[in-house]
Chain A
Amino acid sequence: GDSVTQMEGPVTLSEEAFLTINCTYTATGYPSLFWYVQYPGEGLQLLLKATKADDKGSNKGFEATYRKETTSFHLEKGSVQVSDSAVYFCALSSPYGGSQGNLIFGKGTKLSVKP
């Protein structure tokens, strides 16, 4: 079945460091891909998305490119801030499997940014 694999956390970085959180997926057909962020004590918020191969999603300095050839959607940011400390979830939605509401989520990667 469809699945999402995310790099294990936690990830600890210093402010202004470069961030990469790896995400790869297995899916039937052509899924849409998402990154969600969960700040401490809050619910999930959409960070960015991409709906087809070679699309680049971007928001708040974060970027991720939909790579069909490597089935990846890695999250990157050039210079992280303390306020970026959160848990990041990679997810996919497939039109071919599961419940209609179901996003398939990765296990989440906790990012801590130190001043």
Chain B
Amino acid sequence: SAVISQKPSRDICQRGTSLTIQCQVDSQVTMMFWYRQQPGQSLTLIATANQGSEATYESGFVIDKFPISRPNLTFSTLTVSNMSPEDSSIYLCSFWDGQGDSGANVLTFGAGSRLTVL
């Protein structure tokens, strides 16, 4: 299985600033996905990042707030812009990793970036 690493693991940010989260996979993957997990809540898909094209955002998420880059097939970044306390969440990147059995891929997650906005 491929390994996915994410950084920073956590950060404390000031209101109005922006922070970029990086996600690196040790093999080439077609699509990478960014999720948000607000405190005590489940996961919500923010956007799908494809190499060579603009990211596709889910309802309620916009590019100006969460710009995404995907410069190659192993790397992606998510920026949380102009942060407010409501952006305090865990942000996770992920990709579909083929397990080789039963035809079912598995969505594999990075360890997450826990952001606290003051």
In this complex, the interface size class of chain B, counting residues with CB under 8 Å from chain A, is: 20 to 34
Interface string of B81-111 (1 = CB under 8 A from A): 0000000001010101000001110111111
A51 and B104 within 8 A (CB):
yes
B106 and A102 within 8 A (CB):
no
B42 and A107 within 8 A (CB):
yes
A51 and B48 within 8 A (CB):
no
Secondary structure type dominating chain B contacts? strand
9 new A-B pairs (CB below 8 Å) besides A46-B106, A99-B58, A107-B41?
A34-B106, A42-B111, A42-B112, A43-B92, A44-B43, A89-B42, A101-B48, A107-B42, A108-B42
Task: Tell me if B66 counts as interface (CB < 8 A to partner A).
Answer: no
In the complex, chain A residues whose CB is within 8 Å of the CB of B112: 42-44
A–B complex contacts, Cβ < 8 Å, 12 sampled:
A34-B106, A43-B6, A44-B92, A45-B109, A46-B107, A55-B102, A89-B42, A91-B107, A99-B33, A99-B45, A105-B43, A108-B42
Task: Tell me if A7 counts as interface (CB < 8 A to partner B).
Answer: no
Task: Tell me if B56 counts as interface (CB < 8 A to partner A).
Answer: yes
In this complex, the interface size class of chain A, counting residues with CB under 8 Å from chain B, is: 20 to 34
Task: Tell me if B117 counts as interface (CB < 8 A to partner A).
Answer: no
B97, closest chain A residue (CB) = A46
Task: Tell me if A93 counts as interface (CB < 8 A to partner B).
Answer: yes
- A42-B112, A101-B33, A103-B107 are contacts. A51–B102 as well, Cβ < 8 Å? yes
Task: Tell me if B19 counts as interface (CB < 8 A to partner A).
Answer: no
Q: How far is the CB of B30 from chain A (nearest CB, A)?
A: 10
